[in-house]
Amino acid sequence: DVKVTQSSRYLVKRTGEKVFLECVQDMDHENMFWYRQDPGLGLRLIYFSYDVKMKEKGDIPEGYSVSREKKERFSLILESASTNQTSMYLCASSLDGGTGTEAFFGQGTRLTVV
């Protein structure tokens, strides 16, 4: 089974802190994604990576950056956390297999910024 593992289920951070969210997948997938999930807004793509060291901005990249130094690991970085970044963060991965390819998700990290 494909497994996508996010390093933390729950995090509480202070405003202004630098925050790292880590994600690891074990199926050699080319593509990895970070989404945030908010009530009434669904999932919104923050960043996407299609290869090591390659990244593309999603719909809401402001205030975030990412790092992909190894194929299996994709990190989301909040440079200076703010209260409006309190949310559920979901990591996903997929094969580069065409338009019908399934995405596999981690369990999510619920981040609270106080």
Which residues contribute to the site for other proteins (CB under 8 A)? 4, 31, 33, 35, 40-43, 45, 48, 50, 56, 58, 90, 92, 94, 96, 98-108
Place of tokens 């065409």: 98
Amino acid present at 46: I
Contact 95, 29 (CB under 8 A): yes
**Phi-psi domain of 34 (left: phi exceeds 0; alpha: psi -120 through 50; beta: other):** beta
Between residues 21 and 92, which has the closer beta carbon with respect to other proteins?
A: 92
In whole angstroms, the minimum distance from the beta carbon of 110 to other proteins comes to 10
Between residues 15 and 101, which has the closer beta carbon with respect to other proteins?
A: 101
